[in-house]
Structure 1
Amino acid sequence: MPPVADQRPAVQFVTLGEDEAGQRLDNFLLARLKGVPKSHVYRLLRKGEVRVNKGRAKPDYRLQAGDEVRLPPVRRPEPGAPTGRGRSAGLELEGRILHEDTRLIVLDKPSGIAVHGGSGLSHGVIEALRAARPDAPYLELVHRLDRETSGCLLIAKRRSMLRALHELLREGRVEKRYLALVKGRWEAGQVRLEDRLRKTVRGGERVVTVDETGKTAASIFRPVEIGSAASLLEVRIMTGRTHQIRVQAAEAGHPLAGDERYGDRDYNRKMRELGLQRLFLHSASVGWEDPVSGEWKMYSAPLPEDLREVLSRLESHHG
């Protein structure tokens, strides 16, 4: 028999670049040692098997450019092996990339997949992409979309891009526009809605309510097409609160079509008869001034076929 190759992983030494500086050591390790249980990573730190510049370092140590990190040999699952479904989902998502460069991916997220795993889900968009790209050094969500919401989703390929976009988001300098179908005839024209929204749990389910103790949420609702049964709106959000558009639309008396949490049950039943199988909310475009070049960047995702068909049926029924 031929000798079996030694499969044991080797010690690695990683020198930090400017792009990776500033992050905590434990977060750096969790990103580098994908697939290794978090408890094991912290055990390696406690035992001193991870070294920074040949010395022990605490989990909250902030890495500096030029630091040399010793990564001990650890066995990891083969790339993509533990989540075959995640890998195949990732390959499907590759076909939905609207734009990619060295710093960023703009993805047209399909409805029905969460942006990250958890809550009983084995994988989400970010896990699926990592499984499809096992050699990618860095992939992180810039922001989130609800599981049922489709459209533009930003994924950073560099930590510096993540930091820059997070700063723009905090300052309200990222322009995010959605298309939403709401119940009834929208009579208000273009209007800016401001509410205070607070997360709470009701009946074991996480919900968002309008509450004076909550955080301010601001959106601009603009009608695109107005009908007697439903109105198509473009919504520009000025803040990024959980379920913001859904709660504000319901509060205004025009809940989103297909919204099982904040919507109108009878109306949703009628919309299902027209073929609507999910929440009618689509992240149509996202834009910002590029922090490096100063150019205005704008990316858009077309309205999915299933939602276009619903609009067509609405027109023929009520046109």
Structure 2
Amino acid sequence: MRIKSANAELFPLSRRQLLTGAGAAALAGVGLPGRLLAQEPIKVAAVYTVPVEQQWVSRIHKAANAAKDRGGIEYVFSENTSNNDYERVMREYAEAGHKLILGEVFGLEDAARSVARDYPDVAFLMGSSFKEDPAIPNFAVFDNYIQDASYLTGIIAGAMTETKNIGMVGGYPIPEVNRLMNAFMAGVKETAPDATFQVAFIGSWFDPPKAKETAFAQIDAGADMMYAERFGVSDAAQERNVLAIGNVIETQADYPETVVVSALWHFEPTLDHALAELKAGTFKAADYGVYSFMKEGGCSVSPLGTFEGKVPEAAMKLVAEREAAIKAGSFTVEIDDAEPKAS
């Protein structure tokens, strides 16, 4: 575990730990006491179980650095923190006077919520598959609900596949992964209603060789379009000259002839809302997942880049129409956390 100031360069590499732990209730609590002076930078600390270069965590780190650069916060972080050390590091930051602690507690829900109970004047904003607990009013949760962007990239994928056979390789079948895969599949059906899907999970958040071998098997079974939820999938697609769709971050620069488009996550709206609430003295237990929705600016579809002009015009027209409707609130992408199945 390393404690660092926020000046790391971002290179996407790995993924966070597998979901374990206990659930919680789903109602907001009461606000934190007090109001921070507007001119005071908020002391923010983050505790990450993986390197900040990892794709999911990199989005949180990027948003925190942006807020730091604006002058609104002071920001330090610990990366590669083991689950056994996580509670200790959280407590050290709380004792050091940090007013907002960020992180991802998918593998240690109980421990993290216990720390929050012990420091009621500190705000905690934590990645979690569970909900907020009204008994812990200073503990808010979030997750990357980017199903809107995933759905739109599916429309593009359906228009670009020739075999109508889509390969999908994920880490674990947990809600965070499942909802993005299901939304992508729904998008594919818009432009390729007869498409079939191969679905596999590799049992790891970061095992590119295993993801690559799994993708090879799906390509050998007829897939000409891959959903690259894991690193390693796009490498297989590139080697076998098939196409891929990216997830969370933009990877087309590394695979210019392979990655058609990506569903991007933007953590800035989530963090900015938390900072505003903290400054106003109104931070409370809440589900911040809604700030990952497209209408909140929490996700987007990447530019087509090298694939500009290569996607059928009708598909791009549908993407534009649905994106406008999503932002206007007249079209809702279903949030389906059930494990996706091959079909």
TM-score (norm 2): 0.30
- Kindly indicate which of the two structures has a greater share of residues assigned to helix: 2
Higher relative contact order (CA 8 A, sep 6+): 2
Larger Rg: 1
TM-score (norm 1): 0.31
- Kindly indicate which of the two structures has a greater share of residues assigned to strand: 1
